[in-house]
């Protein structure tokens, strides 16, 4: 299954950050969308639902660029923001995405450094870079 990132934002909920996702998940699963691990699969797209309940995710959504993909208007997240989310989440599988961005040379490093500084992720990036990038 190809990995594609889809970020869905909902307004804050006092009860639980994932409460707004309940009706959407019920609607989609009732129509045959399977759940695979942490993903709800829509067509062939695994959708990981993250509440936009912290400053980094709020910035990511505010900075997303609107574009048309296959006739559907959507918002595209920057590589810098996706890599910052990967570092913030801290899971090894997700951090590999940040490594892929570095290896593909698609990160604007000055923009990335500014994002990391704003969200207190500079030290985490340093540790990641020492471990994963070595002398690069």
| pTM summary value | 0.69
Give 39's strand partners. Answer: 36, 48
pLDDT (tens digit, 0 to 9) for every residue of the chain, 136 residues total? 444 555 555 555 555 555 556 777 788 888 888 888 777 788 877 877 666 778 998 898 889 899 887 887 888 889 999 999 989 988 877 788 888 888 899 999 999 999 999 999 999 999 988 888 876 5
């Amino acid at each position: 299954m190809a990995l594609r990132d889809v970020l869905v934002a909902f307004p804050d909920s006092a009860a639980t950050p994932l409460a707004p996702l309940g009706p959407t998940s019920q609607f989609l699963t009732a129509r045959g969308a399977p759940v695979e691990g942490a993903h709800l699969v829509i067509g062939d797209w695994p959708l990981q639902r993250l509440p936009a309940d912290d400053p980094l995710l709020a910035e990511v959504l505010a900075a997303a660029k609107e574009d048309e993909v296959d006739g559907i208007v959507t918002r595209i997240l920057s590589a810098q923001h996706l890599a910052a989310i990967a570092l913030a989440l801290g899971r090894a599988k997700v951090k590999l995405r940040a490594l892929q961005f570095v290896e593909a040379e698609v990160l604007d490093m000055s923009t990335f450094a500014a994002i990391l500084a704003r969200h207190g992720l500079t030290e985490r990036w340093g540790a990641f870079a020492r471990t994963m990038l070595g002398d690069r």
